[in-house]
Amino acid sequence: MRGPHNILRLIRTGATLERTGAMGLIMDAFEAPPLVRGTMRFLAWPFQWLGDKGDLATPPAPRALTALGPAYIKFGQILSTRPDLVGEELATHLRVLQDKLPPFSVDLAKRSIAQELGRPVEDIFDDFSPPVAAASIAQVHKARLRDTGEAVAVKVLRPGIERAFRRDIDAFYFAARMVELLAPGARRLRPTDVIAHFEGVVMGELDLRLEAASASEFAANTAKDAGFQLPTVQWPLSSRRVMTMSWADGLPLGDNAALDAAGHDRAELGERVLQLFLSHALRDGYFHADMHQGNLKVSGNGDIIAYDFGIMGHIDEYTRRVYAEILYGFIKRDYRRVAEVHFEAGYVPADRDVDAFARALRAVGEPIFGMDASKISMGSLLSYLFEVTERFGMETRTELILLQRTMVVVEGVARSLNPQINIWQVAKPVVEDYIKKTIGPRAALRDLGRTAMVLSRYGPRLPGLVEAALIRQTAAPVPVKRAVWPERALWAGLGCLVGAVGVTLTVFLVGM
């Protein structure tokens, strides 16, 4: 139930951050204004006793986020890929959240596997290791199939993980509603829609059958991509809470020392991981949306291996074209075209001045192109673009949240491999190739052909469909506004207690 009981949950969030010493570190990392910093400390300090002190053997930030639960761990995973935003030390501390969390027991894992697959683990595997990786939602064991001797990875969901996520998401909804009530200017961010999107992604990640299907589709799309590998799903040994895949041997993409010792070219790897992501997003409209270092390896022959397909992103063809034109416009510094694309897509209200918007976009792009290559950042671009679109009334596009978040994560991975990488130069050939294939006379003819095929199939029904739509439109009742002031007053009173905590939490999630 999304109600006032979540106040305690949000207070406990602030109390845990304060008690573990993570509050100051996170405020410093985000360069929080003095007012926000002071308000957060004022609200959290008296309630420190409600916070969880966590595992004292770990640094403050991962200790706090681990103690708070899986949804908070997801936030920490994102920050771990952005040393340019939070500093190298904090990013290194948070990297343990990717696949080095405390595991649950092997006996619990075996019982879960036996229950899901309908037979004892010993009948399936002749070797079953302790956990080799433990993340926020599941842990992985290395095993050997009894029938074939093949090495496999067995992923098992954490016990009780569904209930834990629902509890966190419940509190996030409460925080989002408080933000919408207490900060009207933030409503254009559609924080409730953002949380709903986050909920959909997470709930999908909690069914490993869906992850197996995602891995299979992703493998079909990327089969011809040079320098890229995916493990193979073992369908007979996969279910809702268990997934079995072929074992992927390789070095972690986040271990620069090991990559250097093996003779891999880190600069080339950084370029490849960024171009692969852009190719998957633009070419296929289906991309790995959790591409942090914990989900990527480098094989002996230099191929990048991706795994953990719990979060996959999908964008339709029209949105891909809009996104590509915006990126291409910034790359070519054609700010007028970028502005026109925003208007054509309906991202900016039609009553705004396109020329003024183009000038504002120039103020976003030019400072970035004037920077040294090592400082050109997609994160900076999104930050500046946020300020401009707010001024011109653009609402948050929920369908682009995952794409934008993943772009920031992949940039962080590429920059960790090569701090001097020029993001724009690397992205340019992929975006240009997509533009060439999808925007132009040949693409227009292809679109007309598809439209003609659809019309020919539904042609006999079109008059009836149009008539029915017109009848519905003319018969639609005039909406009546209901009185909402008592409800607003109630939520306002409750929200004042923990408003700052709620605002900060939702801003974090929007950034994700």
| Domain extent listing, the chain | 6-100, 250-439
pLDDT-derived band at 403, boundaries 50, 70, 90: confident
Residue 111 pLDDT greater than 50, yes or no: yes
Tell me which residue of 418, 149, 443, 462 sits closest to 317, measured CA to CA. 443
Written as one string, the DSSP assignment of 200-261 is HHHHHHT-HHHHHHHHHHHHHHTTT-TTEE-PPB-GGG--SSEEEEE----EETT-HHHHHH
Q: What is the pLDDT of residue 381?
A: 66
Q: Which residues are catalytic?
A: 290
In one-letter notation, the amino acid at residue 504 is T
- CA distance from start to end of the chain: 24
Cα dihedral 32/38/40/44 (nearest 10)? 140
pLDDT digits (tens, 9 = 90+) for 145-176: 999 999 999 999 998 888 888 888 888 788 77
Distance CA 33, CA 25 (A): 14
Residue 497 pLDDT greater than 50, yes or no: no
Distance CA 65, CA 180 (A): 25
Residue 495 pLDDT greater than 50, yes or no: no
Residue 105 pLDDT greater than 80, yes or no: yes
The CA distances from residue 206 to 121, 200, 201, 396, in Å, are: 22, 10, 9, 26
Q: 316 by DSSP, 3-state: which?
A: coil
Q: pTM here?
A: 0.70
Distance CA 136, CA 157 (A): 9
Tell me which residue of 151, 110, 129, 132 sits closest to 241, measured CA to CA. 110
pLDDT digits (tens, 9 = 90+) for 68-79: 887 788 777 766
Contact (Cβ atoms closer than 8 angstroms) between residue 133 and residue 140? yes
Residue 510 pLDDT greater than 60, yes or no: no
pLDDT-derived band at 488, boundaries 50, 70, 90: very low
Residue 322 pLDDT greater than 80, yes or no: yes
Could you tell me how many residues make up the chain?
512
The CA distances from residue 338 to 124, 178, 323, 347, 399, in Å, are: 56, 34, 10, 11, 19
Tell me which residue of 192, 378, 354, 357 sits closest to 277, measured CA to CA. 378
Q: Are strands 286-288 and 312-314 parallel, antiparallel or unpaired?
A: antiparallel
61: left (phi over 0), alpha (psi -120 to 50) or beta: alpha
Q: Is 442 exposed, middle or buried (0-12, 13-18, 19+ CB in 10 A)?
A: exposed
In one-letter notation, the amino acid at residue 13 is T
Q: 483 by DSSP, 3-state: which?
A: coil
Encode 426-439 in three state secondary structure.
HHHHHHHHHHHHHC
Distance CA 433, CA 397 (A): 25
pLDDT-derived band at 400, boundaries 50, 70, 90: low
Q: What is the pLDDT of residue 238?
A: 95
Written as one string, the DSSP assignment of 121-182 is HHHHEEEEEEEEEE-SSEEEEEEEETTT--EEEEEEEPTTHHHHHHHHHHHHHHHHHHHHHH
Share of the chain above pLDDT 70, in %: 73
Distance CA 311, CA 296 (A): 14
Share of the chain above pLDDT 90, in %: 29
Contact (Cβ atoms closer than 8 angstroms) between residue 450 and residue 119? no
For 356, residues 6+ apart whose C-beta sits below 8 A from its C-beta are: 392
Q: Is 228 exposed, middle or buried (0-12, 13-18, 19+ CB in 10 A)?
A: middle
The CA distances from residue 326 to 212, 336, 363, 365, 380, in Å, are: 33, 10, 15, 12, 16
Q: What is the pLDDT of residue 457?
A: 67
Helices H, strands E: what count in the chain? 24, 10
Residue that is written with structure tokens 């879960």 in the block? 112
C-alpha radius of gyration, the chain, whole number: 24
Contact (Cβ atoms closer than 8 angstroms) between residue 403 and residue 313? yes
Q: What is the pLDDT of residue 286?
A: 94
pLDDT-derived band at 491, boundaries 50, 70, 90: very low
Contact (Cβ atoms closer than 8 angstroms) between residue 307 and residue 232? no
The mean pLDDT value for 30-58 works out to: 70
Give the range with max mean pLDDT: 57-61, 166-170, 234-238: 234-238
The CA distances from residue 480 to 201, 279, 483, 512, in Å, are: 34, 47, 10, 36
For 448, which DSSP code? H
Q: What is the pLDDT of residue 260?
A: 95
Tokens of 105: 């027991």
Q: Kindly report the CA angle at 327 between 191 and 442, in degrees rounded to 5?
A: 120
pLDDT digits (tens, 9 = 90+) for 409-466: 888 899 899 988 888 788 888 888 888 787 666 666 666 666 776 666 666 776 777 7
Distance CA 70, CA 161 (A): 8
Residue 47 pLDDT greater than 90, yes or no: no
Residue 496 pLDDT greater than 90, yes or no: no
Q: 72 by DSSP, 3-state: which?
A: helix
Residue 389 pLDDT greater than 80, yes or no: no
